[in-house]
A and B are shown apart, each in its own frame.
Chain A
């Protein structure tokens, strides 16, 4: 009986260890809370402009701009500058690679939690 309990405990510990190891594979660019907000938001819509992202996330202009640059450099985000009437729009949309990375992140977090 104590042997069974010990084996069960060891199996549980191994499973936990595997899950924790999976966490090491997490994409650090997306894992940052502010960038996670941006990517999660853009995954839920087709596209959004800078002002919408700023209003929705509550980030400052400079902060949002810096995070968008990092995401764009990583290839997770496409940014396009355009106009709607006289209003300038900086439109952001998630790239295919961005969506794949978010899906992977979602799976890893779900498995770990």
Chain B
């Protein structure tokens, strides 16, 4: 608390709120568990894409699943985390109702994602895709950066550095794109899942505060 008080002297109210809410959001390890499970599922789908005969029904089904996977995860994971917290952990984490979504910002982000997706499809169509090594290294570094920025805690920064390092290592190993993605997402998925589970069990072991004030 004393440390908090000193920090507040140099912070705006918005910065204080963002920092505290981010800490609260990461406190129970559920976001890391969600990231770990998502990455492992993505790695499994990539592996299945290699395992099935190209052009077969199963292979096509995997390709469609891969295309739908990330939009579904982006939409479903915040809802799933919120549901688990309010249904099972309310006594531990408390209740909070966030402000309505900022649709202006969200539509801008969706627009940027759509432009990038169209550019990637166009590049693939024109055969102007960069070599697999570049894509793997870029995914590792970009994903690591995103993980560190979104998480804003030492755990997520370590995860981000690990993702960037794994991406670079996989890029140098000259594997195919699918195998590289399987290794990259599989490794970071396991790492996130283990870290999230450790934090979750440590959080659950802490005794809940008895009763309420006020």
A and B: partners? yes
User: At the interface, yes or no: B108 with Cβ under 8 Å from chain A?
Assistant: no
A87-B91 in contact (CB<8A): yes
| Contact with B17, one of A44, A65, A88, A105 (Cβ below 8 angstroms) | A44
Among the 9-residue stretches B41-49, B154-162, B183-191, B206-214, the one with 4 or more Cβ atoms under 8 Å from chain A is: B206-214
User: At the interface, yes or no: A23 with Cβ under 8 Å from chain B?
Assistant: no
For the complex, give the distance between the alpha carbons of A65 and B214 in Å: 5
CB distance from A50 to the nearest CB of B (A): 5
Number of inter-chain CB pairs below 8 Å: 114
For the complex, give the distance between the alpha carbons of A87 and B87 in Å: 11
For the complex, give the distance between the alpha carbons of A87 and B4 in Å: 29
User: At the interface, yes or no: A51 with Cβ under 8 Å from chain B?
Assistant: yes
CB contacts (< 8 Å) of B76 on chain A: these are none
Chain B 71-102 near chain A by CB (<8 Å), digits 1 or 0: 00000000000000010001111111111100
CB distance from A79 to the nearest CB of B (A): 6
User: At the interface, yes or no: A46 with Cβ under 8 Å from chain B?
Assistant: yes
| Contact with A52, one of B4, B93, B99, B211 (Cβ below 8 angstroms) | B93
Chain A 23-51 near chain B by CB (<8 Å), digits 1 or 0: 00000000001101101110111111111
User: At the interface, yes or no: A78 with Cβ under 8 Å from chain B?
Assistant: no
CB distance from B9 to the nearest CB of A (A): 8
A106-B20 in contact (CB<8A): no
Number of interface residues, chain A, beta carbon within 8 A: 43
A48-B13 in contact (CB<8A): no
Q: How large is the interface on B (under 10, 10 to 19, 20 to 34, 35 or more residues)?
A: 20 to 34
For the complex, give the distance between the alpha carbons of A59 and B5 in Å: 11
Closest to B98 in A: A45
CB contacts (< 8 Å) of B91 on chain A: these are 51, 87
CB distance from B19 to the nearest CB of A (A): 10
Chain A 51-82 near chain B by CB (<8 Å), digits 1 or 0: 11111111101111100110000000001000
Among the 9-residue stretches B21-29, B52-60, B194-202, the one with 4 or more Cβ atoms under 8 Å from chain A is: B21-29
B13-A106 in contact (CB<8A): yes
A50-B94 in contact (CB<8A): yes
| Contact with A33, one of B8, B18, B100 (Cβ below 8 angstroms) | B8
Contacts A44-B99, A55-B27, A102-B13 given; indicate if A49 touches B94 (C-beta within 8 A).
yes
Closest to B213 in A: A65
A55-B93 in contact (CB<8A): yes
Closest 3 A-B residue pairs measured CB to CB?
Answer: A52-B94, A65-B213, A51-B94
- 28 pairs, CB–CB < 8 Å, chain A vs chain B: A34-B1, A36-B16, A37-B4, A40-B13, A40-B20, A41-B20, A43-B17, A44-B14, A45-B21, A46-B97, A46-B99, A46-B100, A47-B96, A49-B95, A50-B213, A51-B94, A51-B95, A52-B95, A54-B94, A55-B94, A56-B94, A61-B211, A65-B213, A65-B214, A88-B212, A89-B95, A90-B212, A109-B12
